[in-house]
Amino acid sequence: MTRKELVDKVVDLYWNQGLSLSRTAKIIGRVDSNIRKLLKESGRGTRSVAQGIKKHHKTDSITDKQIIEMYDNGMSCLQISEYFGKSEDFSRQRLIKLGIGRRNSSDANKSRRKLSETDIEVMHDMYKRGDKVLHICQHFDIGMETMYRHLRYKGFEFRDRFKLAKKYYQSEARKNIDEVVELYRGGKNPSEIAEIFNVTCTVILNILKENNIEIRKAIGENHYAWKGGITKLQIIIRTCRPYMKWKKSIFKRDGHICQLTGGRGGELNAHHIKPFAQLLQEFLELYPDLDYVNDRKKFYEKLYAFEPLWDIGNGITLSKKAHDLLEKNIYDNELLNDLYKNKISIEQIQEWTKLDMDELKQRLGIKDKFTNL
């Protein structure tokens, strides 16, 4: 991200979306003083006291009943503030004025997600088959300590690092080091050799290094994963001015509101309805002889004239969490509940998450009408 793009993003979060300095700093990943310098650099500076009071009065539409209800349902002060697109202190100060103190540790524990016996069994199966601990924690919306506590309580065995190391040293590749070296010298790359011996690419590279074999530099066209420079081209397009303008137009049209969860502000993404990679492929097929490295001027002329890439109707505003759900299938219970509350059908949520319907209903707290009959 260039300096100008960084300044534009800070101005958009602080002035257009009305977020506080601390909230803007958290999203950008900088300290408050750095955000002040960027705002000063933009020529707008920070809000005056009068503007701050005026901004504070806009929160009158957020009723005390809403905040109390959300807090009683187990949401933290930070989660309530993020829901309304406000600073961290917003909900905490409102609760203090209402005479509601902070929850003690026992109350906080009660509000945590409780895992069923089925969840713990599924968790163990995921852990046993070798899934990463991080992915398991994201799947069940829990912390690492909670996961280990549940597994330990049920008497499940943890993965033995020594056994994994033993398996690594007893692999077929290590039994046939001469063959690995011969294949590499014959022109095979590490990933191809790894497929032959059913090991990771790292194992092959380690074997070559241990035997003092010089590793070939695989850069650009010589790299086994080379796809014609598409990744670099995507970065060039995503950081150009027309793309940034397209992105801002979508945010403005949607009022900085996520079109799936209904949440306003925060970290937003402009999502392509027709995938960006597909549009880029169509552009490259239309102009196969274009050279974006040596003839930039002609390339940009054709790129800016390619209307499907800049069509505002092909984009919608999504929160980062909602965007991660559609693009990477990463989600948590809070996001699922936000989608359901915003009248997204349970069938559509199931299609996105690939969850079993019973598990999805359990996560959303939905009970069948005839369960108690």
Across 242-335, the runs of DSSP E, i.e. the strands, are 268-272, 315-319
Q: What is the pLDDT of residues 314-354, one digit of tens each?
A: 899 998 888 888 888 887 888 888 888 877 888 888 888 88
* Whether 275 and 303 share a structural domain: yes
Torsion sign across C-alpha atoms 196, 199, 200, 206: negative
Torsion of CA 81, 97, 106, 362, to 10 degrees: -40
Same domain, 284 and 320: yes
Residue 10 lies in a domain: yes
**222, 242, 267 — which closes off a domain?**
222
Judgement on whether residues 8 and 99 belong to the same structural domain of the protein: yes
Domain count, the chain: 4
Residues 251 and 197 in one domain: no
Is 95 part of a structural domain of the chain?
A: yes
- For residues 243 and 326, state if they share a domain: yes
Quick: pLDDT tens for 207-218: 888 888 888 766
Q: Identify whether residues 196 and 216 lie together within a single domain.
A: yes
pLDDT at 57 over 50: no
135-181 residue pLDDT tens: 787 777 777 778 888 888 777 777 665 455 555 555 677 778 888 88
Question: CA-to-CA distance for 14 and 92, rounded, in angstroms?
Answer: 21
**Closest to 360 in 3D by CA, of 148, 146, 139, 142:** 139
In a domain, 362, yes or no: no
Q: Domain containing 26: what range? A: 3-110
Residue 266 falls inside a structural domain: yes
pLDDT tens digits for 93-119? 888 888 777 666 555 555 455 677 888
